[in-house]
Amino acid sequence: MLKLGVPSKGRLQEDTISWFEKRGLILKRTGSEREYTGSISGVDGIELVLLSAGEIPQELAKGRIHLGVTGADLIYEKLPLHEKQIYIVEEMGFGFADLIIAVPNVWIDVNTLHDLDAVAAQFRSEHGFRLRIATKYHNLVRKGLRDFGVSDYQLVDSQGATEGTVANLTAEAIADITSSGATLKANHLKLLSDGVLLKSQASIFASRTADWSRLGSTMKGLCKKMDWKDLVL
């Protein structure tokens, strides 16, 4: 059976189900709301696997599911070797979000990452420790800041309410996913003009490590239904 991993709840699950339904593949949750089971009709030989969006990258990397729907930000954050582990099949056109760097509004002279780099060096000199950036996207932020030459900082782990860390004095800046920017404004933060480190959206990914050897007929039917060319894994 070809295993398709989709988000187990929330708006991302609803949009995923709607996206596949428009293409003739019907995904249904079976059992109670607490049960992570489901069914698929439209193409024979596919098993629906309900997972959290954060679990899907690792399940793809380990080859336990063949296809998975999740955000590109989670793939690139959780799988440093993603080029060898997964393959992007299609961007789905929903779940848009940007990974951004934001600083307090009162930092009127800090508008770019170059400005942030200068302030970080001054901050360390004055306070005796590196400027703190709160985030849960450690790998992506390190890579993004390295690409811009920003080095004099430290990352502070934040698994929730990241925008509040500046007001709580546990960080001087944040790196987080945002879709509208409303939460930034509510917390008196501003996006740097070049502070978008990654533009993300929900996408379908294929595993390079899963066993595809007996799925020829299923994949042929799925590719036809989805209007995909044969996957190159």
Q: What is the pLDDT of residues 69-127, one digit of tens each?
A: 999 999 999 999 999 999 999 999 999 999 999 999 999 999 999 999 999 999 999 99
Are 197 and 99 in contact by the 8 Å Cβ rule? The answer is yes
3-state secondary structure of 224: helix
Domain 2-95+202-226 in CATH: superfamily?
Periplasmic binding protein-like II (3.40.190.10)
Task: Identify the pLDDT of residue 180.
Answer: 80
Q: Spell 33-53 as b/e; 16+ CB within 10 A means b.
A: eeeeebebebbeebebbbbeb
Domain range 97-200, CATH class = alpha beta
Question: What does the pLDDT look like over 42-51, one tens digit per residue?
Answer: 999 999 999 9
Task: Identify the pLDDT of residue 33.
Answer: 59
% of the chain at pLDDT higher than 70: 95
Sorted by where each begins, the domain ranges of the chain are: 2-95+202-226, 97-200
Task: Identify the pLDDT of residue 232.
Answer: 61
Work out the number of other CB atoms within 10 angstroms of the CB of residue 123: 18
Domain 2-95+202-226 shares a fold with domain 97-200: yes
**Mean pLDDT score of the chain, rounded to an integer?**
93
Lowest mean pLDDT among 29-33, 36-40, 67-71, 145-149: 29-33
- Average pLDDT on 177-200 reads 93
Question: What does the pLDDT look like over 120-167, one tens digit per residue?
Answer: 999 999 999 999 999 999 999 999 999 999 999 999 999 888 999 999
- Average pLDDT on 194-221 reads 95
Task: Identify the pLDDT of residue 69.
Answer: 98
Q: Spell 68-95 as b/e; 16+ CB within 10 A means b.
A: bbbbbbbbbbbbeebeebbbebeebeeb
% of the chain at pLDDT higher than 90: 88
Q: How confident is the model at residue 28 (pLDDT cuts 50, 70, 90)?
A: confident
Give the residue among 176, 150, 181 at the shortest CA–CA distance from 165. 176
Give the residue among 117, 142, 131 at the shortest CA–CA distance from 169. 131
Query: pTM, whole model, 2 decimals?
Result: 0.90
**Does the pLDDT at position 186 exceed 80?**
yes
- Average pLDDT on 217-232 reads 86
Task: Identify the pLDDT of residue 32.
Answer: 59
